[in-house]
Structure 1
Amino acid sequence: MHIFRIDPLMLKLIITVLLASFLPARGHFVDFFEWLTTIAIALLFFMQGAKLSREKIIAGSGHWRLHLWVMFSTFVMFPALGMLFLWWHPLNLSTEIYTGFMYLSILPATVQSSIALTSLAGGNVAAAVCSASASSLLGVFISPLLVSLLMNVHSDVPGGSLEQIGRIMLQLLVLFVTGHLSRRWIAGWVERNRGLIGKTDQASILLVVYSAFSAAVVNGIWHRVGAMTLVWIVVGSFGLLFVVLVVNLAAAKLFGFNRADEITILFCGSKKSLANGVPMANILFPSAAVGIIVLPLMIFHQVQLMVCSMLAQRYKKADEKLAAWEKAATSSKAVVESQK
């Protein structure tokens, strides 16, 4: 079925990882790619801020109960599950893999896919735009903070945590806010060139992945990550997503949300952003560890798209059947009325 197809970005990521595995950056190319990666991350977060529409956020901001639960799911429930996974250590996998699961759990939600799937399923699109966008905005600040609070890691930045936070604020938050504030001058260009911006975002992610996996390959990542490890990452991703979806569905019904809001909660409260996660990891973690740490995030990205696409199709088909039934019932009633 088409819902099980590999996401095009995932295919590009696989090719990039293979390229880095066979032709990793070495010597003077490492410095060149580090410089290029810094520019790519800056451009990525600037354009993410520029794409964020205040008007659309305001249009869906009134549904505070829904937004509160989505934020809880994204920044409280997910990290709690990540901490449980890290503490439990159910399988004999490397610490970096569990760190990767913990890391993906603290990231903000995706924006584009959350909105697209909510729309396809017949959910509350205005609320989805507000929730997903707010999650992306808050994540630039909250995710590094959660890394500092929950994960015992250090970046390559000399000078300790204060300088690390300063670099994150400079590269991520300031660029994101600057991009958003520049919308008054470039909003029209951004809306006309969303396709080009999307390709630029993907190119930036692929560049960061190549740089990260080059360092990981040089440090022997494939001696620590075998086929069975990859299988268990896939299984863990399905398990983590399943728990989050079940809890979100139960919460939507428990708190009395209607069907459209239930759909929005499911799709906005269960996603994790690859676009935010990969470049952020490049700043937060030692360069030798970034490749293996983002591996669970890359696999979870494909799993979440596949499963949520399937759910969106089921919601859509259910709505189509209901509409067909109501149309048939209306036609039958009209026939009966005409025969009286």
Structure 2
Amino acid sequence: MIGKFIKKAASFGFDGFLPGIISVIFLAYLFPFAGAKDSLIPLDEIAQIGVSIIFFFYGLKLNPIQLKAGLSNWKLHLMVHLSTFVVFPVIILLLHKLIPNIHTEDFWTGIFYLTALPSTVSSSVVMVSIARGNIPAAIFNASISSLLGVFITPIWMEVWFSETAKGDFELGGIFLKLILQVLLPVLLGLIFHNKYSWFAEKYKVRLKQFDQSIILLIIFNSFCESFTENVFAALSINDLLRLTMFSVALFFVIISITNFISNLLNFSKEDKITLMFCGSKKSLVHGTVMSKILFPGSDVMGVILLPLMIYHTSQLVICSILANKFAREDR
């Protein structure tokens, strides 16, 4: 009985990763010196190498033939990426102008960073599959979203820092780092796809565990630095509850917008499901690994990543409920 429940939960994305996130944050609170800047263990350098390995195997798993075949449904693709990269950040920019004093600028930066990120890959495809949506389109959009995020996310962050007048953001240097550490490994993986994709398929469970381990390492490192500098002192339980409610509200706003667009453009039910799920989700993987490049040496990294982690949990819960609802409707 318990085994079946665990297996079912894992199919929705509720595996040991979420408890792992909570655990490493707690460990960072207890032992902040272990991941601080003057730590004897070079966690930052280890994480950077791990990031490149993650994206190499991501490229190795990408199928160029499937990506090419998915180009035809351009209206759906356009709407997914407009939702992911335009609607999300514009909403937060407007809210920041209307209620700028709701919290600290670092807190707002974390919320905006969340909205500027690409969509998820694996969980989007899983949810679309459960809901009986357009699976090939989900694979195409999730994959392309990840590649577009390398360029679009830093551009939005430059807009944000220009808008808030908080520090300099060297876009040229950021692009160079992202190209070398993210895009180049992906391209190398694509080059070796035909010959070695079997390896990524055979060891996909181990590779997923490796990906999660690197993400947990980055989260631990980030929170150690934030706890060392005591940046969470102004953050209360009420703030966390408000952030959770905000995440849920933001998700439903995006879902409502994508639903409206789907009806307006007369999308099929399968395309509608794909737009709603792919256009409303944000990638914890990309958000975590890109943060090391976009905010190097930042003491407030924990605060910046907090909204993303809460939104990640919220989207898994809500999407699993919606996916099952759509699946039951087809019975």
TM-score, normalised relative to structure 2? 0.90
Which residue does 2:56 correspond to in 1?
Answer: 46
User: Cα gap change, 1:99/1:73 in structure 2, threshold over 3 Å: closer, same or farther?
Assistant: same
What is the deviation of 1:86? 2.5
Match of 1:16 among 12, 21, 24: 24
Structure 1 portions without partners, runs of 5+: 321-340
User: Where does structure 1 differ by over 6 angstroms across 4 or more consecutive aligned residues?
Assistant: 1-5
1:304 equivalent to 2:312? Answer no
What is the deviation of 1:300? 0.1
**Which whole-Å CA distance do the structure 1 matches of 2:300 and 2:15 have between them?**
25
1:241 equivalent to 2:241? Answer no
Contact 2:13 2:123 (C-alpha < 8 Å) held by counterparts: no
**Which whole-Å CA distance do the structure 1 matches of 2:15 and 2:100 have between them?**
29
Which residue does 2:228 correspond to in 1?
Answer: 218
**Which whole-Å CA distance do the structure 2 matches of 1:221 and 1:270 have between them?**
30
**Which whole-Å CA distance do the structure 1 matches of 2:305 and 2:281 have between them?**
15
1:274 equivalent to 2:284? Answer yes
What is the deviation of 1:167? 1.9
Which residue does 1:179 correspond to in 2?
Answer: 189
Give the fraction of aligned pairs with identical amino acids, expressed as a percent. 33
What is the deviation of 1:9? 1.8
Contact 1:154 1:284 (C-alpha < 8 Å) held by counterparts: no
**Which whole-Å CA distance do the structure 2 matches of 1:154 and 1:19 have between them?**
31
Match of 2:330 among 315, 319, 329: 319
Secondary structure class of the residue paired with 1:60: helix
User: Cα gap change, 1:188/1:31 in structure 2, threshold over 3 Å: closer, same or farther?
Assistant: same
**Which whole-Å CA distance do the structure 1 matches of 2:106 and 2:247 have between them?**
15
User: Cα gap change, 1:146/1:71 in structure 2, threshold over 3 Å: closer, same or farther?
Assistant: same
**Which whole-Å CA distance do the structure 1 matches of 2:107 and 2:15 have between them?**
23
Task: Return the index of the structure with the highest Cα Rg.
Answer: 1
Secondary structure class of the residue paired with 1:151: helix
Which residue does 1:323 correspond to in 2?
Answer: none
1:54-109 CA-partner distances (Å, limit 9, x unpaired): 22222332111100100110111111112123323376322111111100101000
1:293 equivalent to 2:304? Answer yes
User: Cα gap change, 1:181/1:151 in structure 2, threshold over 3 Å: closer, same or farther?
Assistant: farther
**Which whole-Å CA distance do the structure 2 matches of 1:5 and 1:212 have between them?**
23
Count the aligned residue pairs. 317
User: 1:76-155 to 2 correspondence within 5 Å?
Assistant: 76-89=86-99, 92-152=102-162
**Which whole-Å CA distance do the structure 1 matches of 2:69 and 2:25 have between them?**
40
Amino acid at match of 1:73: S
What is the deviation of 1:245? 0.2
Q: Which stretch of structure 1 is more off in the superposition, 25-34 or 310-319? A: 25-34
| RMSD (Å), alpha carbons | 2.2
Amino acid at match of 1:210: F
Amino acid at match of 1:113: S
Which residue does 1:196 correspond to in 2?
Answer: 206
